[in-house]
Amino acid sequence: MRPLAGAPVPKRQKCDHWTPCPSDTYAYRLLSGGGRNKYAKICFEDNLLMGEQLGNVARGINIAIVNYVTGNVTATRCFDMYEGDNSGPMTKFIQSAPPKSLLFMVTYDDGSTRLNNDAKNAIEALGSKEIRNMKFRSSWVFIAAKGLELPSKIQREKINHSDAKNNRYSGWPAEIQIEGCIPKDPS
């Protein structure tokens, strides 16, 4: 008896989406870290902006800034929130994003221990509703725009707290993600 023909292999989509984004939009996917060896990732238009493969993610809050008009990455940085005083430099980095920028933020390990009020205020000013709820080892992802308004239907933020009874990994919550399509600048 011959085996039945299987379904065709699905076509790979930008940033590993299940369905393609329309051609007049940008595809993105933000993935927080989870566990010791599950590093955070930021993908935009099928380009890995931050990830373990690039060696540019680390403990704390990882941020990528993208020019909304051109779709080009303008800067990426990691800010350790467990050791050192990195809230000030992170606040300046966020505030230095030029108008018409997309900001993508993801945590790996701890993003809250040394996160001060000025940094929280800067992230809240971009529209975060969860930054003040972040706890030790919370998984958090956030997308923001500076100098433009994102469509209301876009999921902008997600958080998952570390909970000893429900953690996927020993001492670590499961990673979380948001993905979607952002309309391109019509100009």
Least reliable range by pLDDT among 3-7, 71-75, 82-86, 161-165: 3-7
Check pLDDT > 60 for residue 39.
yes
Q: How confident is the model at residue 102 (pLDDT cuts 50, 70, 90)?
A: very high
169 or 86: whose pLDDT is higher?
86
Q: Average of pLDDT values for 149-155? A: 93
pTM: 0.89
Contact present, 80 and 100 (Cβ < 8 Å): no
Question: Under 8 Å CB-to-CB from 75, ≥6 apart: which residues?
Answer: 63, 64, 65, 93, 97
Question: Under 8 Å CB-to-CB from 112, ≥6 apart: which residues?
Answer: 81, 134, 135, 136, 138
Using one digit for the tens of pLDDT, what is the confidence trace for 26-36? 999 999 988 77
Q: Average of pLDDT values for 10-15? A: 81
Contact present, 12 and 5 (Cβ < 8 Å): no
